[in-house]
Amino acid sequence: MSLKKKPNTEGSTRNFITRTQAIRRLQVSLRDFQRLCIIKGVYPRDVTRGGTVTSKGVNRRKLKKDKVYYHVNDIRSLASGDLLSKFRDISSHLRRFKRLVERGELYDAKLKVKTKPRYSLAPIVKERCPSLVSALEDMDDAVSTISAVAALAGDESRGLNPSLVLKCSTQLNHFLKYVSDTGCLKKTFISIKGFYFQAVILGVNVTWIIPHAFSQNLPDEVDFNVIATFVEYYLELVKLVNYKLYLMSNIAYPPKFKKGLEDHGDDFYNMELSRVAEEEGLFSNLKFYVSREVPRGPTALVLLSAGGTLVDDEKEATHVIMDKPLKEKRFNCLYLQPQYVFDSLNCNMLLPTNQYAVGSKLPHHLSPFTKNRVEQTDGGQPRAGWPRYVLFQFLNADSTLEKAEEDTSMKQLEVLREELNPELKKLRKSLMPKKHKRLLSKIEFAKQRKQEQAKKLASRKAT
């Protein structure tokens, strides 16, 4: 006689358990379970997508849609390591601390705070990101999150510790310092949400956003305890990546501040410069003075990454970046609006300054992250990645040729038009939307087929 099978020990449904069953198995609170899942990167499984998962016979079981399910292997990974035992020690330590406070033994309670169990997330970061390249692929969310938290005001009653905000600001400035020293910044864009940046580090595109410097209020509907857990992991990730990148570039870590600027905040532009870029930057040999009304952090990041020099005295500058009406003007200096810095970096060239002078109407600030870019061409044509307002100079070549008619002969103009027209057609076609581009290709194909048929008829008549 065979043994009776236990239910839910075979089939596909045995691989999933509910959140309540997982908490009972791990013997932790709901809050600690959420923290474990965030730090170790464990997420619920959508088991009912594409139909219900069931098993036959004694293992018959239906997974319901209104419950949260986790994979058994994910729960086993949560149980492995020292983090779970540390969380249990912290919860028991907290119970003892509360007991001392209720008894009125405040002196012993203060001593108890000093003996709080500590844990390190470095092994978990190395487990989730075994190589530096894999860690850089996760830097998008990490840098964006710590930059958002660094712009907030700390409030312990809401679960956002001021010391955590200070750590976010420190690690963010260390990362921006590396980007400015190595000159790896490639794209930038100013939007309503903030300043978008993209740097190429070890062949990996790292994109992040820095919010505008406004006074922020903590919304009531946001649970900052959950955000603090994400920030705790991201801080350890950014810290390890910063240390490794500084070590590979032969830059001292942590970076030191300039003499006399130790009390001016932990901004990266107050730290000692250690330019290690292999190529000269776009703004090399140029000195910039950034006015007060201009966001100094994002502007300084673009300038320093492109090889520019920041000066504190306006008289020493060759370019003054300002965003207010000009009262006094020096003739040996250019007064420009901040958009000039960002557009020049996106185009990888020094744009004409007359369009960006203080008081003039600015051209459209277009995103370099869009897909409708122009391919690189030969013969001095636009390079790949130029925005549209630069390409208009090439697309409106007919108007420039009409102006040149006064100085050149008609034969030279006809030769120039014949040389530019095929390339202008390609440029215009590359800027079209997909729908219009397909329609144009159909029209060109029909026209070409008619021409071929006409040639065939002409050849038949000739024979």
DSSP string, 265-309: -S-GGGBPP----SS--TTTT-EEEE-TTS-HHHHHHHHHHTT-E
Instruction: State whether 184 and 234 are in the same domain.
Output: yes
At residue 251, φ and ψ (nearest 5 deg) are -110, 140
Q: Are residues 328 and 215 in the same domain?
A: no
250 and 220 co-located in one domain = yes
Q: Is 72:16 a contact under the CB 8 Å cutoff?
A: yes
Domain boundary among 303, 336, 365: 365
Nearest to 367 by CA among 246, 255, 207, 217: 207
Give yes or no: residues 125 and 231 share one domain.
yes
Low-confidence stretches of the chain (pLDDT < 50) are 50-52, 57-60, 372-386, 388-389, 391-406, 408
Helical segments of 362-433, H only: 388-395, 397-403, 410-430
Same domain for 318 and 270, yes or no, is no
Question: What pLDDT sits at residue 234?
Answer: 95
Closest C-alpha among 137, 110, 132 to residue 247: 132
Claim to verify: residue 166 and residue 57 sit in the same structural domain: no
Report how many domains make up the chain: 3
**Parallel, antiparallel or unpaired: strands 334-336 and 319-321:** parallel
For position 199, what pLDDT does the model report? 94
Residue 459: inside a domain: no
Q: Are residues 270 and 219 in the same domain?
A: yes
The answer to whether residue 261 sits within a structural domain is: yes
The answer on 175 and 143 residing in a single domain is: yes
Instruction: Mark whether 287 and 269 lie in a shared domain.
Output: no
Are 163 and 224 found together in one domain?
yes
Final residue in a domain of this structure, among 235, 252, 278: 278
Domain of residue 55 covers 12-80
Separation between Cα atoms, residue 175 and residue 217, nearest integer Å = 26
**Residue 244 within any structural domain of the chain:** yes
- Helix residue ranges, H only, 151-221: 162-182
> Which residues, including other chains, have CB under 8 Å from residue 258's CB and lie 6 or more apart?
270, 271, 272
Structural domain contains residue 88: no
Residue 107 lies in a domain: no
Strand-pair partners of 199: 185, 206
Determine whether 36 is exposed, middle or buried from the number of CB atoms within 10 Å of its CB (0-12, 13-18, 19+).
buried
Q: Does one domain contain both 347 and 320?
A: yes
| Residue 393 belongs to some domain of the structure | no
Decide which of 245, 260, 278 is a domain's last residue: 278
Domain match, 265 and 306 both: no
Beta strands per DSSP E along 155-225 = 185-190, 194-201, 204-211
